[in-house]
Amino acid sequence: MAAYQLAQEALAAEFSARWAEILTAVEARELATSLTELSTQYQAAIRESAVASRTLSIAFYRLVRALETGRVIGGPGYRPGASLGSLWADFNRATGKRTGTGAREPLPVDTRNPFPAEDIGREAERAAETFRQQVADRVAKHERERPGREGSAALDDPALIAWERDFLESLKTAGSGAGGQIVQDGGRDMIHNALQNDPGAIGYYRATEGSPCYFCALMAARGAVYKSKRTAAFGAHPHCHCQAVPIFSRRYQLPDANTSFARMWREFGGGSLADWRAYYTKT
């Protein structure tokens, strides 16, 4: 699980680095006239990393399922004669690390394809809307507030240079956070929808990063979430690295972090989300 989570985080980080590189090539005063090109590059960067996120999630889902049930599931990436050894090899390839290995005997096959079809249009719409909110709208506001925009401020004014630098940094942070969420949602949605379509799956639990926010800690405190229409969504937010880990047997074991958050929730004793946030922050 750790290797999967780290690999998904790395994909979000790669996207963030690419977005920062894209912005570095543009002068702050040229942002308003470069939005069309920036939008194209932003969406292309999201697309590339989201595809990798989905490939990784399929390899992870198929491997976890085989380890827990002794059977391999069909769908994208399935090859006849798949074994634990070949599934580990697929996962290692997707993570870029050697994380494990297994026997080479072919596994029994469940031919059903639980993985949802890639929705390129929805992803593109979401990326375009995210760019508008996190970049284009901010640039428009920035232009309205620019000191000396009528020509009274010198381009080498130290205060203006610092102001522009801080603005570019804010665009990097906002754009990478929201875009990174779309990247990881490519994998998160793939796994969560596969759970709903796979008769062999019974639910999932939320694996958090080292120091999750109060919301993610609360969601992790729920422990196993058994699949139903009511649980057909996985909440994430910008800069969130939580992942849904599929469960195929009642003999699952939760990570220590989930158990700790559950204990913390019991000790909290109930209250509003704001009360929980205050309690969690102080604990």
31 CB contacts (<8 Å, ≥6 apart)? 38, 139, 142, 171
Q: Please say which residue of 152, 174, 200 terminates a domain.
A: 200
Tokens of 9: 């985080």
**117 and 247 fall within a common domain:** no
Decide if pLDDT at 149 tops 60: no
pTM over 0.75: yes
> In the predicted model, is pLDDT for residue 232 greater than 70?
no
**Are 122 and 163 in the same domain?**
yes
Residues 189, 219, single domain; the answer is: no
Q: 63 CB contacts (<8 Å, ≥6 apart)?
A: 87, 88, 90, 91
The 3-state DSSP composition of the chain as helix, strand, coil percent (nearest 5) reads 60, 5, 35
**What's the number of domains the chain is made of?**
2
d(CA 222, CA 216): 10
- Asked if residue 113 and residue 8 are part of one domain, the reply reads yes
Domain end (from 134, 169, 200):
200
**Average pLDDT, whole number, for the chain?**
91
Torsion of CA 163, 169, 172, 178, to 10 degrees: -90
Of the chain, the percentage scoring pLDDT greater than 70 comes to 94
Residue scoring higher pLDDT (225 or 58): 58
Looking at the structure, tell me whether residues 176 and 140 fall in a common domain. yes
In this structure, the answer to whether residues 192 and 209 fall within a common structural domain is: no
Residues 91 and 16 in one domain: yes
Please determine, for residue 57, whether its predicted confidence score (pLDDT) is greater than 80.
yes
pLDDT at residue 155 is higher than 60: no
Give buried/exposed letters for 249-258 (b at 16+ CB in 10 A, else e): eeebebbebb
Regarding whether 158 and 39 lie in a shared domain, the answer is yes
Give the largest CA-CA distance in the chain: 75
| Structural domain boundaries enclosing 90 | 2-200
Instruction: Render pLDDT for 91-123 as a digit per residue (tens, 0 to 9).
Output: 999 999 999 999 999 999 998 999 988 888 999
**127 and 210 share a domain?**
no
Rg (Cα) of the chain, in Å, rounded? Answer: 22
Q: How many CA atoms lie within 13 A of 68 on its CB side?
A: 19
Both structure tokens of 137:
């709208």
In sign, the C-alpha dihedral spanning 179, 180, 181, 185 is positive
Indicate if 225 and 122 belong to the same structural domain.
no
> pLDDT-derived band of residue 246, with 50, 70 and 90 as boundaries?
very high
Q: Same domain, yes or no, for 86 and 147?
A: yes
